[in-house]
Amino acid sequence: MKSFQTERWAVDKTENTLENHPHIIQASLWINKNEVIAIPTETVYGLAGNARSDDAIKRIFEAKGRPSDNPLIVHISDLSQLEGLVSSVSETAQKLMNAFWPGPLTIVLPKGENVSERVTAGLSTVAVRMPDHEIALAVIAASGVPLAAPSANLSGKPSPTSAQHVYEDLKGRIPGIVDGGSTGVGVESTVVECTGELVTILRPGGITLEELEKVAGAGRVVVDPGLENEKQAPKSPGMKYTHYAPDAPFVLVDGSVEFLQRLVDKEREAGKRIGILTTEERAHVYKADCVIPAGDRSNPESVAQHLYEALRAFNEAGVDQIFGEVFPKTGVGVAIMNRLEKSAGGNIIKE
């Protein structure tokens, strides 16, 4: 793998004519050399490379240290870039694009001829989205090509929601990071398959099932039964392997505050440093070596926004074990629990 002196290019997303910003142009030049750079989106930072280039996609997998049997999401800045990327767009898929693009919705469609086989992991479909972030759109437009862009972190680590997170993981592995500040949504996009008229959720994210049903119609949105089946060949990013994990062992606790505190006390009596992942309302209730709140329980969107930041914070705290609270699986809580369950490798203690 190549070694780089990784640069950080600060860009204010409120500036006019971003496509002509020298740092955007610099990033696009690297992309046109089939190298990969990190860019901000409204969900997390992405590791972007030319979706038409086998060499660029190979470099994405090398930089992340990620197996190449997982498909990647292709990011576009204009609907015209779908030409050659996909072979057809169903009426329902078009409705979803009109309603949610730009935004945190990825749509899996029949693939066209002008996309790297490494992007699709050999599947007959390709995952596409239009990010709702001025800098991401400007980089794509300046590059002149659709960009494959998985999260810009080392494989298995919590996804990055700031340029600093990317730098910590990928320093020396990529030539540069376009620093656009902190991201907004926090968890990755919802991924749906829409090759026909039925909408199948492959990965929960920033767009909820209820929001999808309002556009596609009641009863026309289903959840893929393979969502939690890691033995099945993945049709979407984030469906395979333990993801989003902090350095210390992480276990979810489905029970009362008192039950979780007893688990913590037992481990601390054994001499371990213990961390607790909670929310603002309960942060003062627990006694542990490190208590980190991720947003406000009454506002699940804030939990999603701060989730990865909180998981990464435990790495700096030097804890031996982390216990995390669970959340209701409704609305964006479905996406939150999907990420937490993968962070914990499926380990949940019930009261």
Domain boundaries, the chain: 7-228, 250-350
Asked if residue 159 lies in contact with residue 151, where contact means CB atoms within 8 angstroms, the answer is yes
Q: Across the chain, how many H-helices and E-strands are there?
A: 10, 16
| Whether the predicted pLDDT of 154 surpasses 90 | yes
Other beta carbons within 10 angstroms of residue 186's beta carbon come to 30
Residue type, 187: V
Q: Regarding the domain delimited by 7-228, which CATH topology (the fold level of the hierarchy) does it fall under?
A: DHBP synthase (3.90.870)
Give residue-wise pLDDT tens across range 76-116. Answer: 999 999 999 999 999 999 999 999 999 999 999 999 999 99
Which phi and psi (to 5°) does residue 121 adopt? 55, 35
Binding site, by residue number, is 43, 66, 70, 75, 125, 129, 149, 151, 159, 189, 203, 244
Binding site for L-threonine, by residue number, is 43, 75, 129, 149, 189
Kindly list the distances between the CA atom of residue 157 and the CA atoms of 64, 93, 124, 170, 248, in Å, as whole numbers in the listed order: 10, 32, 29, 11, 11
Q: How far apart are CA 145 and CA 130, in angstroms?
A: 13
Identify the residue whose tokens are 């694009």: 97
Q: Which token pair is 140?
A: 């794509």
Other beta carbons within 10 angstroms of residue 5's beta carbon come to 8
Give residue-wise pLDDT tens across range 177-234. Answer: 999 999 988 899 999 999 777 899 999 999 999 999 999 999 999 999 877 655 555 5
Which are the contacts of 301, defined by CB distance < 8 A and separation ≥ 6? 185, 295, 332
Residue type, 60: I
Q: What is the mean pLDDT of residues 313-324?
A: 95
Q: What's residue 230's pLDDT? A: 53
Mean pLDDT of the chain: 93
The answer to whether the predicted template modeling score (pTM) of the entire model surpasses 0.85 is: yes
H-helix segments, 217-299: 257-269
Residue type, 264: V
Binding site for ATP, by residue number, is 66, 70, 125, 151, 159, 203, 244
Q: What's residue 196's pLDDT? A: 73
Residue 106 zone, left/alpha/beta (φ > 0; ψ -120 to 50; rest): beta
Q: How far apart are CA 324 and CA 327, in angstroms?
A: 10
Asked if residue 147 lies in contact with residue 28, where contact means CB atoms within 8 angstroms, the answer is no
Q: What is the CATH number of domain 250-350?
A: 3.40.50.11030
Q: What's residue 61's pLDDT? A: 94
Q: How far apart are CA 98 and CA 86, in angstroms?
A: 17
Q: Which token pair is 285?
A: 């209730």
Q: Which token pair is 39?
A: 């860019």
Q: How far apart are CA 322 and CA 314, in angstroms?
A: 8
Q: What's residue 207's pLDDT? A: 96
Q: How far apart are CA 160 and CA 153, in angstroms?
A: 6
3-class secondary structure, 42: coil
